[in-house]
Amino acid sequence: MPFFDSNGVKIHYLDEGRGAPLLMIHGFGSSAEEHWVKTGMVERLARRGRVIAYDVRGHGHSEKPHDAARYGLANMRADALRLLDHLRIARARMIGYSMGSRITLEVLMFDPARLSAAILGGFGQGGQITTPGQRHRIAAALLAEDPAIIEDVLARRFRRGAERNGKDLRALAACISAEETTDVASTIDYAALGRVAAPVLIATGDKDTIAGDPRPLKGWFRDPRVVLIEGGEHPTVPADARFHQAVEDFLATVPE
């Protein structure tokens, strides 16, 4: 079970297959095991290339700080780049799901030379997660002593999911509350994304009310492709064979 040190935080990762490297970043409250291994994605993609999947800080087997200052997009973007550096990979393809897509977006904005292609799964515009104050409501729900008092429906879903899977509630609360703004769009540099030459696939379920509609994101990039997974919801798409096929088809057409 390999680990590396990311500026004082121990990060767990797996590295399988040979060939063009693909870095995989899971969603909030999940892990590399849950989003990529158990769904069969690692096994499938490792037949065609090198697959590196890691547990984001606060998740899986990685270290789980309880201080929100140890999280945030800058720290999580740095983890991804440090892992590539640790493995001596100058340039890779990257796939994220939900939170992992937001981390991938950070790399696209600030370090585009490190990516030859990107996949944003479970990502869109206008979803519930971008509602002002929603991240703080989820954090409060994760920390609530009595879950019965949680009124926010989405926050209650996150709490139940975290409890059901035995997560570190304090670590998840610190992670999701690290960056909150009433204007989510202000965190995105659209001009920088418009300069990105790498092809980008956005693949999201058409019933994904958490992420929202992926189609408006097509205007953010120079070489975008959008796939709507019919009937797909936020929790179901990572295991959906149509998502797997869309990813595999895209990777077969993009630079290594």
- pLDDT for position 182: 47
From 95, 101, 59, select the one nearest 211 (Cα to Cα). Answer: 101
pLDDT tens digits, one per residue of 94-120: 999 999 999 999 999 999 999 999 999
pLDDT on residue 48 = 92
pLDDT in tens, the chain (256 residues): 799 999 999 999 999 999 999 999 999 999 999 999 999 999 999 999 999 999 999 999 999 999 999 999 999 999 999 999 999 999 999 999 999 999 999 999 999 999 999 999 999 999 988 888 899 999 999 999 898 889 999 999 999 999 888 899 999 999 999 875 545 667 899 999 999 999 999 999 999 999 999 999 999 999 999 999 999 999 999 999 999 999 999 999 998 8
What local confidence, expressed as pLDDT, does residue 164 receive?
85
pLDDT attached to residue 104: 97
Alpha-carbon distance of 188 to 179, in angstroms, equals 13
- Taking the domains of the chain in order of start, what are their residue ranges? 3-130+184-251
Phi, psi (deg, nearest 5) at residue 29:
75, 5
| Number of residues in the chain | 256
pLDDT tens digit string along 30-77?
Answer: 999 999 999 999 999 999 999 999 999 999 999 999 999 999 999 999
23, 82, 59, 192 alpha-carbon torsion, rounded to 10°: -70
Helix, strand or coil, per DSSP, at residue 14 = strand
pLDDT of residue 78: 97
120, 217 in Cβ contact below 8 A? Answer: yes
Please name the fold of domain 3-130+184-251.
Rossmann fold (3.40.50)
Which residues are bridge partners to 16 per DSSP? 51
pLDDT score recorded for residue 249: 97
Diameter of the chain measured on Cα atoms: 51
For residue 187, the model assigns a pLDDT of: 84
User: 194-223 in b/e burial notation, b at 16+ Cβ within 10 A?
Assistant: eebebbbbbbbbeebebbbbbeebeebbee
Task: State how far the Cα of 247 lies from the Cα of 158, in Å rounded to an integer.
Answer: 26
